[in-house]
Structure formats: C-alpha cells, structure tokens
C-alpha cells in the first residue's frame, strides 16, 4: 500500500492535490500541534473538508499531545485510520478503544528512538503500527535505516500468526529506500516529498508500489 502524505502538497488546493494521487491506497494526513512536535500543520476542520473532497481513505497521523482528548474526533469525522504516538499518552489502549468505538481503525506510532519491546503486548489492541523512520515534525528528511529492526520484529510476529497488524513506515521513503523497507516487511509506505515532489504524483505512486512489490519478493 502507498499512502502519499499531503504534508508535501500545496495546502491552498488540497482537494485537487488529493485528486493528483488517484490510485493511492490511503491519503496520509499529518496533524501536528506545535507541542508534541515543533511544527504546526492542520486540524480537524481541514480533515473534515478533505473527507468531503476525496474517496481515498484518510490515514490521520496525530503528532499531538493529549490524543485521548482529540483522536476520537478524527474517527467520528470519518477517517479510515487514526494513529497517535505511544510517547504522547500513558494509556494507549484506552485511546485505541475510543477510536474503535468512534468507527475507525486505530494505529500506534513510535519515534525512531522509541523501543518497540514495551509496546509489543498492547499491539493486539491496534490495527496499525506506524514506525517512524525520521524524527516526526517535517517532511523531506533522510531515512533512518536502523528502524527496520523494529519492522522485522513485528513482521515475524505477524508471519507466525501471533499478531495481526498492518506495518506502516513514515519518513524518507523514496525510490532509493522503499525496497529495503519492503524487504524488512512493511505493508504500507507513507511518502510525502517522493510523491508530491514528482512531476506526476500519480505516476510516482505507481512506480513506488512496483518497487515495494519487488522488494517484498526478496523477503
């Protein structure tokens, strides 16, 4: 699955920027609050408008403090998947429950420096694990290959049937990095600058997907 990140799109024309990636599996929307991360992007009203403007399922990535307070609203609005950060809450399971009750899939995200082990037990409460492969906050950063050990660990638990979860990766995914991420076992690839920085974003989605499939075949 390829999830273009609209962080790299033109915010003055988000409707047509969503149209520009027809064929994408999810549309990744980065919500940043200027507290959990230093950057500030957009919030619920923009997501509500985007939901009306596109049929592509919306994948909300909440880089915010107090997800217990805010995350369910994105699910109620109609987002397909709502992901929040493990580092931002003491009770991730309760937040996942509220997201599910509001009708969306729930995702847990971990920063590059966050250990996966303390969270393995609770992953059964989630549909998605979003492994950050850059420090959250900005698009266009370089891929941190060291996080692929976390991907491999979760992939092996999924393959052995111990866990059912979709493994998503976010940050620095492009033509040079997507194959190694696919080979490690990623299911869903977020790509911002590699898609919206391309002359033809829809074509970039197709070619990233083809590369991901060939990387996965090496597994």
Residues designated catalytic: 30, 170
Interface residue with ligand DX5, options 59, 170, 183, 187 (CB under 6 A): 170
Beta carbons within 10 angstroms of residue 101's beta carbon: 12
Closest distance between ligand DX5 and the C-beta of residue 162, in Å?
28
Residue 57 carries which DSSP code? P
Nearer to ligand DX5, 7 or 108 (CB): 7
4 binds ligand DX5 (CB under 6 A): no
Cβ proximity to Zn ion: between 4 and 92 the closer is: 4
Which residues from 13-72 bind ligand DX5, rule CB under 6 A? 28, 30, 61
Stretch of 5-13, 14-22, 81-89, 115-123 contacting ligand DX5, by CB under 6 A: 5-13
User: Which CB, 88 or 134, lies closer to ligand DX5?
Assistant: 134
13 Cβ contact list (under 8 Å, min separation 6): none
In contact, 88 and 114? CB cutoff 8 Å: no
Cβ closer to Zn ion: 61 or 209?
A: 61
Given candidates 8, 54, 89, 211, which one binds ligand DX5 under the rule CB under 6 A? Answer: 8
The span from the CA of 104 to the CA of 93, in Å, is 14
By CB under 6 A, tell whether 191 contacts ligand DX5: yes
Assigned token pair, 88: 């931002």
173 binds ligand DX5 (CB under 6 A): yes
Instruction: Please work out the total of residues on this chain that contact ligand DX5, with binding judged by CB under 6 A.
Output: 22
**Quick check: 141 binds ligand DX5 (CB under 6 A)?**
yes
Give the 3-state secondary structure of residue 203: helix
Q: Which of 56, 69, 64, 104 is nearest to 84 (CA)?
A: 64
SS (H, E, C) 135-186: CCCCCCCCCCHHHHHHHHHHHHHHHCCCCCCEEEEECCCCCCCHHHHHHHCC
Count of beta carbons in the 10 Å neighbourhood of residue 159: 11
Which of the ranges 13-21, 121-129, 144-152, 165-173 carries the binding residues for ligand DX5, by CB under 6 A? 165-173
| Residue 185 interacts with which of ligand DX5, Zn ion, none, CB < 5 to 8 Å by class | none
């Amino acid at each position: 699955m390829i999830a273009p990140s609209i962080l790299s799109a033109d915010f003055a024309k988000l409707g047509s920027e969503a149209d520009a990636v027809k064929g994408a599996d999810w549309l990744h929307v980065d919500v940043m609050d200027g507290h959990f991360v230093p950057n500030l992007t957009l919030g619920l009203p923009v997501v509500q408008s985007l939901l009306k403007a596109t049929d592509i399922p919306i994948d909300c990535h909440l880089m915010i403090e107090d997800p217990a307070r805010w995350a369910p609203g994105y699910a109620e609005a109609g987002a397909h998947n709502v992901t929040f950060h493990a580092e931002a809450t003491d009770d991730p399971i309760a937040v996942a429950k509220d997201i599910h009750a509001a009708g969306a899939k729930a995702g847990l995200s971990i920063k590059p420096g966050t250990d996966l082990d303390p969270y393995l037990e609770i992953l059964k409460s989630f549909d998605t694990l979003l492994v950050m492969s850059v420090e959250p906050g900005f698009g266009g950063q370089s891929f941190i290959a060291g996080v692929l050990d976390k991907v491999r660990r979760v992939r092996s638990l999924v393959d052995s049937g111990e866990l059912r979860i979709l493994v998503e990766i976010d940050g620095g995914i492009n033509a040079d990095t997507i194959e190694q991420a696919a080979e490690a076992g990623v299911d869903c690839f977020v790509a911002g600058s590699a898609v919206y920085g391309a002359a033809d974003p829809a074509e970039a989605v197709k070619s990233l997907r083809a590369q991901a499939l060939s990387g996965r075949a090496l597994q």
